[in-house]
């Protein structure tokens, strides 16, 4: 009888601990679901803001005449310009395109990152996704510093006419932009964004809302503009 009373007493003592642990877990889950909603809300605002910059990007593309990039690079290849020089110039062209396409979106991206930073979360996947966006913003600022010259097409044409020797645009310092492009970091960052988007779904967000956290969804129109110009390069390396 004594052992039975002891067992009952111990069980009675344990019950509050079980309830407390359960309540704590439920509270933590609720907080993380709220964080996921806040991330998704911020991504929705980013997507809408970025979409509004697409007309400006198209105007910039026409002003700089990016349609000539691929044509001139192919002409240089046919003229026998060495492949290493072509590859370098193609990378430089990519840097210029990054500025043209993504520089107008920097204010929206700054607001997005600031909004994410205000969200409290212990979710490692969401924190990694947030860090990836923060690093993307830093990369965009590097490209924005290039200051694409309005006569970029004319300078590229003159470079090809001169046999592809010497620097493409002496007034532009490509060092930081090329380092960023060749680091391969963008792909890894966008993978962390996709993983965070999947985590948003796991924490109760719809697929449509969660997918906006991924770069290729939030910047869909800009990615298409960039890819279209790069595709015109053809094989240049």
Position 178 scores a pLDDT of 87
Is the Cα dihedral 106, 212, 113, 125 positive or negative? negative
Q: For the purposes of burial, counting CB atoms within 10 Å of the CB of 144, is it exposed (0-12), middle (13-18) or buried (19 or more)?
A: middle
The answer to whether 218 touches 46, Cβ cutoff 8 Å, is yes
Distance CA 232, CA 235 (A): 9
**pLDDT tens by residue, 168-206:** 888 888 899 988 888 878 999 999 999 999 999 999 999
Position 27 scores a pLDDT of 63
Position 139 scores a pLDDT of 94
Among residues 115, 119, 152, the alpha carbon closest in space to that of 137 is found at 115
Position 5 scores a pLDDT of 61
Among residues 97, 152, 119, 113, the alpha carbon closest in space to that of 38 is found at 119
**pLDDT tens by residue, 3-61:** 656 455 555 555 454 444 454 555 678 999 999 999 999 999 999 999 999 999 988 88
Distance CA 148, CA 99 (A): 7
Q: What is the DSSP string of 114-165?
A: HHHHTS----HHHHHHHHHHHHHHHHHHHHHTT---TTHHHHHHHHHHTTS-
Domain boundaries, the chain: 32-231
pTM: 0.82
Distance CA 29, CA 221 (A): 35
């Amino acid at each position: 009888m004594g052992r039975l009373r002891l067992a009952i007493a111990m069980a009675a003592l344990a019950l509050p601990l079980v309830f407390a642990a359960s309540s704590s877990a439920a509270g933590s889950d609720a907080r993380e679901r709220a964080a996921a909603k806040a991330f998704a809300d911020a991504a929705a605002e980013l997507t809408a803001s970025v979409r509004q910059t697409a007309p400006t990007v198209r105007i910039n593309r026409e002003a700089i005449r990016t349609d000539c990039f691929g044509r001139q690079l192919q002409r240089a290849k046919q003229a026998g310009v060495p492949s290493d020089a072509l590859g370098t110039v193609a990378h430089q062209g990519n840097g210029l395109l990054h500025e043209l396409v993504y520089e107008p979106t920097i204010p929206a991206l700054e607001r997005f990152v600031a909004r994410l930073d205000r969200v409290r979360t212990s979710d490692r996947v969401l924190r990694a996704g947030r860090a990836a966006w923060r690093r993307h913003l830093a990369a965009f600022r590097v490209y924005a510093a290039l200051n694409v010259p309005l006569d970029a097409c004319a300078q590229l044409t003159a470079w090809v006419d001169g046999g592809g020797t010497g620097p493409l645009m002496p007034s532009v310092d490509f060092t930081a932009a090329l380092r960023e492009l060749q680091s391969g970091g963008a792909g890894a960052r966008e993978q962390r964004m996709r993983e965070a988007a999947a985590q948003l779904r796991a924490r109760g967000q719809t697929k449509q809302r969660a997918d906006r956290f991924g770069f290729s969804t939030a910047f869909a129109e800009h990615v298409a503009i960039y890819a279209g110009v790069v595709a015109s390069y053809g094989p240049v390396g």
